Amino acid sequence: MQLNRNSKTDFIRAFINYFLGPLLFIWLSWSIYHEIKSQPDIEGAWRHVRQSFSSSLLWMIPAVIALMSVNWAIEAIKWQIAVKPVQPVTFLKSFRAVLSGVSFSVSTPNRVGEYFGRVLYMEEGNRLRTIAVTMVSSMSQLIITLLMGLAGLIILKPYIEQKQLISGLWLLVLIYGVLIVLVILLLFYFRLHWLARWIARIPFLKKYSYLVEAVGQFDTAVLIRMLSLSVLRFSVFILQYYLLYIFFDVQIGWWAACWTVSVSFLVMAIIPTFAIAELGLKGKVALLVTGLFSANKAGIFFATASIWFINLVIPAILGSILILGLRKFYKRDNQRSDSLKN
Task: Give pLDDT tens digits for 104-115.
Answer: 777 666 667 687
Average pLDDT over residues 19-34: 52
* CA dist., res. 327 & res. 118, Å (int): 13
The yes-or-no verdict on residue 327 having pLDDT over 50 is: yes
> What pLDDT sits at residue 33?
52
Q: What is the pTM of this model?
A: 0.82
Average pLDDT over residues 277-302: 84
The yes-or-no verdict on residue 170 having pLDDT over 70 is: yes
Contact in structure between 177 and 169 (CB atoms under 8 Å): no
Find the range with the poorest average confidence among 22-26, 31-35, 222-226: 31-35
The yes-or-no verdict on residue 296 having pLDDT over 80 is: yes
Query: What's the maximum distance between 2 C-alpha atoms anywhere in the chain?
Result: 76
The yes-or-no verdict on residue 339 having pLDDT over 70 is: no
Average pLDDT over residues 300-318: 87
> What pLDDT sits at residue 222?
93
Per cent of the chain over pLDDT 90 is 39
109-116 contacts at long range (C-beta below 8 A, 24 or more positions apart): 109/16, 109/272, 109/273, 109/274, 110/272, 110/273, 111/275, 114/138
* CA dist., res. 230 & res. 248, Å (int): 27
**Count of domains in the chain?**
1
Helices (H), the chain: 2-15, 21-37, 42-52, 60-83, 91-105, 114-119, 127-163, 168-189, 192-201, 220-247, 254-270, 275-289, 297-308, 314-341
* CA dist., res. 264 & res. 240, Å (int): 14
For residue 96, give the nearest of 332, 327, 318, 307 by alpha carbon: 318
Exposure b/e, 268-298, CB count within 10 A at least 16 = b: beeeebbbbbbbbbbbbbbbbbbbbbbebbb
> What pLDDT sits at residue 314?
86
Exposure b/e, 195-224, CB count within 10 A at least 16 = b: bbeebeeeeeeeeebebbbbbbebeeeebe
Q: Say which DSSP state 88 is in.
A: -
Residue 43 in any domain: the answer is no
For the chain, state the CA radius of gyration: 22
> What pLDDT sits at residue 319?
84
The yes-or-no verdict on residue 276 having pLDDT over 70 is: no
Residue 133 in any domain: the answer is yes
Exposure b/e, 138-154, CB count within 10 A at least 16 = b: bbbbbbbbbbbbbebbe
For residue 32, give the nearest of 271, 205, 265, 286 by alpha carbon: 286
Residue 335 in any domain: the answer is no
Count how many residues are written for the chain: 342
> What pLDDT sits at residue 165?
84
The yes-or-no verdict on residue 288 having pLDDT over 80 is: yes
Contact in structure between 213 and 196 (CB atoms under 8 Å): yes
Contact in structure between 227 and 182 (CB atoms under 8 Å): no
Residue 342 in any domain: the answer is no
CB atoms within 10 A of CB 114: 22
Residue 25 in any domain: the answer is no
The answer for residues whose C-beta is within 8 angstroms of residue 248's C-beta and 6 or more apart is: 48, 49, 52, 296, 298, 299, 300, 302, 303
The yes-or-no verdict on residue 43 having pLDDT over 90 is: no
* CA dist., res. 209 & res. 129, Å (int): 10
Average pLDDT over residues 42-66: 76
Query: pLDDT-based confidence at 1, cuts 50/70/90?
Result: very low
Who wins on pLDDT, 131 or 32? 131
Residue 73 in any domain: the answer is yes
Find the range with the poorest average confidence among 41-55, 193-207, 239-253: 41-55
Average pLDDT over residues 60-83: 95
> What pLDDT sits at residue 124?
82
Query: pLDDT-based confidence at 171, cuts 50/70/90?
Result: very high
For 173-191, what is each residue's pLDDT tens digit?
999 999 999 999 999 899 8
Residue 334 in any domain: the answer is no
Average per-residue pLDDT in the chain? 80
Residue 12 in any domain: the answer is no
The domain of 236 spans: 56-328
